[in-house]
Structure 1
Amino acid sequence: MDPCPFVRIVIGNLSVKVPAKHKLQSSSILDFKFKLKGFSTQVSTIPAFLQQKQQEPILDNKVHACFSLNKTQLDKLVKKSRSLKIEIRARKKLLGSVLVPLELKGLESNGNKGVVITNGWVLVGGSSSAQLHMNVKVEHDPRFVFQFDGEPECSPQVFQVNGNVKQPVFTCKFSFRNSSDRNSRSRSSISERSTSTSCFNCCTADKESSPKERKGWSITIHDLSGSPIAAASMLTPFVPSQGSNRVSRSNPGAWLILRPGHGTWKPWGRLEAWLESGGELGYRFEIIPDGANDAITLASSTINAKNGGKFSIDISNGAATPMTSPNSSFDLCSGSGSGSDFGSAPGSGSWGQLLYRGFVMSSTVEGYGKCSKPEVVVGVQHVNCSEDAAAFVALAAAMDLSIDACRSFSQKLRKELRRSDQE
C-alpha cells in the first residue's frame, strides 16, 4: 500500500512575557486561538508569565495546536502564502495577536525533517511590549486513505485512495447476531466467516427481546482473499433511557473491535456511543491493551448527529494518555525529529511502547438520513500490516453505524438495519 502525502503544521513551546502594567496575577490563565483560513479554529491555554528582571520564562514544552493538510490543501497554502494567526486573551480581553507567515520553501527537499517556520520570541501586536515564544514547524506525515463505496450496513467494498487511483483492498459484511449464534459454541475460529466469537459470548447476556433495543449488529472486514481480518460487533445493546426515546450517556451502547489472534478473535478496542440532550452524538473510544487490566481512552468527544462531522484520534495537542507523551513527533525544544520515528514496536511487551501518539486516524461521519460512504485516514506509523488498517476501518464502520443506533426510538430505522422479524 502506498501512502498519500500529508503534512502537519504543529505549534508548541508557548510562553508569554506580560509587562507588569497589565496587572495580571501570577495565577492568571492566557487563552489562545489558532486560526488558519479553511480550517477550524483551535484553542489552548497556558499560565501567564509576569515579566521580571533576571528571571527566565518557563516554556510549555508541548503541542498546543496542530493542522493537518493533504496535498491539495498544501498546494493551495503554498500558492496563496497564507499566514497562521494566533490571538491571545487575558481575562477574556484581547491581549494581542501574532501573524506567522507560512513560508514552506524547501519542505520537499528536506525529506522527513520538515521545516521550522519560527522558533523564538516575537512581539505581540497591540499588546504594548508583550512577547510570545513559540515553535512552529511543518513536518511530513504520510497517511493511508480508505473509502467505503457504500454504507457499512450494505456490505460495501473498501478502496485505498491515492490521488486519482482507487484500489480495492477490503470487503465488508454486515450481519445480525442472534441467540443461536451465542449459544451454539463457546469459541469460533477466525477461519470461519462469522464474527460470533467467545469475546461476544462472554460480554453479551441473553435477555428478553424488546422492540426498544438495537442489538446484534456486526460488521466483518475481509481481505481480498476472503479471510476475515477485523470485526466490530455490538457489545452492549443500544436502549433508550427510562421515560425517553434516547440512548443516554448514563447507559451508552457499546461496540467491541476485534482482531485475529492465536486462532480466534482478540479484543482490540471498545467504542461507546450515546445521544446528548442537545442532539449531539457523544462517543468514547478505548484501546484494550493485551494482557492489561484497564483500557486506555484515546478519544472522547461529540459529533453533530444531524449534520455529521469527523471522528478523530489525534494525540498531538496535550490530550495525551498515560502511554503517550504530550509532545509531537519532534522535539519542540530543538525543532528536530520527524514523523518517521513513530511506529509500532513488533514484539514489544510494554504497553507504553505501542506509541499511539501524534495523528492516529480520522473518519467522516454523516448525519441522520444521509447516504454515508465513510472516508478513513490512518497514520502510516500505525499500520504495519493489513490487519492494522482493517481494525481502523472496522472502528470507522462502528462509528458510522452508531449514528443510526442512537437515533430516537420513535423513528423507524432503514430496512438494512432491521431484522426480518421487525419488518
Structure 2
Amino acid sequence: MDPQAFIRLSIGSLGLRCAGIEGSTGRSRTQKPPSPFVCEIRLRGFPVQTSSVPLISSTEAIPDVENVATSFYLEESDLKALLAPGCFYNTHAGLEIVVFSGRKGSHCGVGIKRQQIGIFKIQVSPEWQEGKPLTLFSGWIGIGKRKPENGRAVAELHLRVKLDPDPRYVFQFEDVTTLSPQIVQLQGSIKQPIFSVKFTKDRVSQIEPLSNYWCGSTISDMEMERRERKGWKVKIHDLSGSAVAAAFITTPFVPSSGCDWVARSNPGAWLILRPDACRPESWQPWGKLEAWRERGLRDSVCFRFHVLSEAREGGELLMSEIFLSAEKGGEFFIDTERHMRTANTAASPLPSPQSSGDFGALTPVAGGFVMSCRVQGEGKRSKPLVQLALRHVTCVEDAAIFMALAAAVDLSIEACRPFRRKIRRAFRHSF
C-alpha cells in the first residue's frame, strides 16, 4: 500500500506581552484586569480556527513549545490551491493570525465590541510542497500599533509555526455498507482493491468463531425492526478472502423510555474485533463504539469510541466523542489535538495513546491525527471515505480494523433514526 502525501501545519506556543497591561509592565495592581485575548487563525479554503492567547506576565517566560493551538492538514490539491494567485491579486495565500482583546457576543442585550490588537502573516511558498519538516517561525514578534517614542510594538506575540510530513492512506467504500461493497485504496486517479465487506443481519443463531461474543437474534418481521435494531454484523476480508476484522452490535439500538429514538441514557453499541494472533480462528475485542441520537432544531447522531486496553485501569481508553448531523452526515475522527478544539465534543480532555497496547497491534504514537471517516446522513447512499495516518499502519490488518470501525459509524446513522418513521424501501431491500 502506497500512502498519499499530506503535511501538517501546526500553530502553537501562543503567548502575548502587552505594554500598559499590569503583569507585563509592572503597573499598579489597582488597574482594571485585562480583557481575555483570543486569536483567529485563518488559511484560505479552511474553516477559521479560534484559540485563546494567554497573557505572559514575565519578560523571561516562554510559552510551552509543545503546546499546539490548532493544526491544518493539507494534501497536494490544497497546496496547489494555496499557491495559485488569487482572483484580484497576484500573491499566494497566506496564514494569518489575528489577535483580539475581548470576545464577540453580547452581555445583557448589549453588544460587546472586541478590539484587534494586531496581525501576524506568513505567505505560502513552494517550499511547503517539499514534504520536509520545517519551522516557519518560532519566537516573539511585534504586532499592531507601535510606540511613537521608540517605534517598538505595543504588543508582542509568541508563536511557533511548523510544517511536518503526515502521509496517509486513503480508502473508499465503493458502495453502501449494507450491500457488502469492495474497499479500494485511492492513490491519485488509481483505485486499488484492498478489502471486501460482508454485511449480514443475523436472523437465526449461527455457530462460528464470533459466537463467544455474539448474541444471536431472531428478528423475523418489520414490526420487530421498528422496535429494535440488532443482529447487524460486518466482516472485513482481505484479497485472499480471510476475515481480518469485524464489528457487530452488542447493545441493540432501541427507543428509550418515553421517546421513539435511541437516547444518550441507553445508547446502542458495537464491538470492534481483530483476529487473535495467538489463537487461530479466534477474535480479540479491540474497541467499542456507542451511538445515540440528540434531538433539537437539527438532530445529531452522537458517537463515543473507546479503545479496549488491558494496560489501562478500567480497560477502556476514550479516544473520540463526535456529534454529526443526522441529515447531512459529517466526519467522524480520532485526533487527540483536534478533539479538544471541536465545539460539540466532550469537555474532558482525551489522553494520547502512548503504547501499542492502546491501539492493539499498532505502533507507538504521541497523539495527533489517527483516522477520519466521512459519511452521509440518514437515508442517503453513503460510501464512507476513510483516511489513516501512516504511522498507525504496519500491515494490512492494522488498516482493516479501522475499516470495521468506519462501517460501524456508517451503519449507526441508520440505526439511530427515529423508530416511528417509515423505513426506506432501498434500505429494507439492502439486507
Aligned-pair CA distance for 1:234: 0.9
1:36 alignment partner in structure 2: 43
* 2:212 is the alignment partner of 1:198: yes
2:392 alignment partner in structure 1: 382
Query: Within 5 Å, which residues of 2 pair with 1:210-359?
Result: 211-261=226-276, 262-263=279-280, 264-278=282-296, 279-290=299-310, 292=312, 293-317=314-338, 319=340, 321-324=350-353, 354-355=364-365, 357-359=367-369
Aligned-pair CA distance for 1:291: 5.7
> Computing the radius of gyration over CA atoms, which structure comes out larger, 1 or 2?
2
2:88 alignment partner in structure 1: none
Aligned-pair CA distance for 1:301: 1.9
* 2:125 is the alignment partner of 1:125: no
DSSP-derived class of the 1:234 partner: strand
1:332 alignment partner in structure 2: none
Matched-pair contact (CA < 8 Å) for 1:62–1:317: no
Letter in 2 for 1:25: P
1:18 alignment partner in structure 2: 18
- Counterparts of 1:4 and 1:352 in 2: how far apart (Å)? 19
Structure 2 residue ranges without an equivalent (≥5): 23-30, 86-91, 104-113, 147-152, 341-348
- Counterparts of 1:161 and 1:143 in 2: how far apart (Å)? 11
1:84 alignment partner in structure 2: 95
2:25 alignment partner in structure 1: none
Letter in 2 for 1:8: R
- Superimposed CA distance per residue, residues 31-78 of structure 1 (whole angstroms, 9 cap, x where no aligned partner): 33222121122222243224x5x5434446311101111111111112
Match of 1:69 among 65, 74, 85: 74
* 2:391 is the alignment partner of 1:372: no
- Counterparts of 1:205 and 1:180 in 2: how far apart (Å)? 7
2:135 alignment partner in structure 1: 116
- Counterparts of 1:160 and 1:356 in 2: how far apart (Å)? 26
Letter in 1 for 2:300: E
Task: Give the TM-score of the pair, scaled to structure 2.
Answer: 0.80
Aligned-pair CA distance for 1:179: 5.6
Change (3 A) 1:350 1:255: closer
Task: Give the TM-score of the pair, scaled to structure 1.
Answer: 0.82
Letter in 1 for 2:140: W
Matched-pair contact (CA < 8 Å) for 1:324–1:352: no
DSSP-derived class of the 2:84 partner: helix
Aligned-pair CA distance for 1:369: 2.1
2:108 alignment partner in structure 1: none
* 2:199 is the alignment partner of 1:169: no
- Superimposed CA distance per residue, residues 121-171 of structure 1 (whole angstroms, 9 cap, x where no aligned partner): 122336971211111112111100001110001111100000011011100
Matched-pair contact (CA < 8 Å) for 1:258–1:265: yes
- Counterparts of 1:231 and 1:323 in 2: how far apart (Å)? 25
Percent identity over paired residues: 38
Letter in 2 for 1:42: Q
Letter in 1 for 2:3: P
Aligned-pair CA distance for 1:304: 1.1
Change (3 A) 1:350 1:310: closer
Structure 1 residue ranges without an equivalent (≥5): 190-195, 326-343
- Superimposed CA distance per residue, residues 369-421 of structure 1 (whole angstroms, 9 cap, x where no aligned partner): 2211111000000111111111111111111111111111121333565499x
More divergent stretch after superposition (142-151 vs 206-215): 206-215
- Counterparts of 1:165 and 1:75 in 2: how far apart (Å)? 20
CA RMSD of aligned residues (A): 3.1
Aligned-pair CA distance for 1:305: 1.1
Aligned-pair CA distance for 1:240: 1.4
DSSP-derived class of the 2:295 partner: coil
